[in-house]
Amino acid sequence: MTFLNGTATLGTGTLSGGKATYTTSTLAKGSYNITASYGGATYFTASTSAVLTQTVGKASTSTTLVSSRNPSNPGQKVTFTATVTPAYGGNPTGTVTFKSGTTVLGTGTVNASTHEATFCTTTPPAGTSSIRASYGGNSDYTVSTSAVLKQVVK
């Protein structure tokens, strides 16, 4: 059995008990017109299924946040690193916004290879701050926000 998107072959599946299966995780976001085509056999004629419209949406993400130095001293350099993990693989791109409470500390660009975005500062507020990293998503990946990281400045 051959599985097609329009006229493009996606893959094949072995017919067993009147059924064939094809599994893929490589379809990008979009809409696909899938058909299954049977080539026929000695006593059976060839046939093609009706079109199945398969829609693939944005892939979900999760974001984690770590600090290079926690606790830190006033004026000491601290690098916050956010890692954006896509649920089904791939390489998310875009930006991450780093916040202390509702105050924006800065942004970082997601590296498509490492999935990391960083922000470096020497001025975290004194005391304990609640830092979050928010990935803004893009056309293929959803928005996600890290858990709160408690940054302590002595």
Average pLDDT by stretches of 10, the chain with 154 residues: 96 93 88 96 94 94 97 94 93 96 96 97 86 96 97 93
Does one domain contain both 18 and 49? yes
Does one domain contain both 52 and 76? no
Does one domain contain both 19 and 70? no
DSSP calls for 106-142: EEEEPPTTT-EEEEEES-PPSEEEEEEEEE---SSB-
Q: Return all residues near 42 (Cβ < 8 A) that are at least 6 apart.
A: none
Does one domain contain both 143 and 77? yes
Q: Identify the residue whose tokens are 């304990």.
A: 128
Residue numbers of the domain that contains 73: 61-153
Domain count, the chain: 2
Does one domain contain both 75 and 149? yes
φ, ψ for residue 42 (rounded to 5)? -50, -45
DSSP H helical ranges for 13-150: none
Does one domain contain both 73 and 120? yes
- Taking the CA atoms of residue 142, residue 145, residue 147 and residue 148 in that order, the dihedral angle to the nearest 10 degrees is 180
Q: What is the pLDDT of residue 153?
A: 93
Does one domain contain both 73 and 145? yes
Does one domain contain both 39 and 105? no
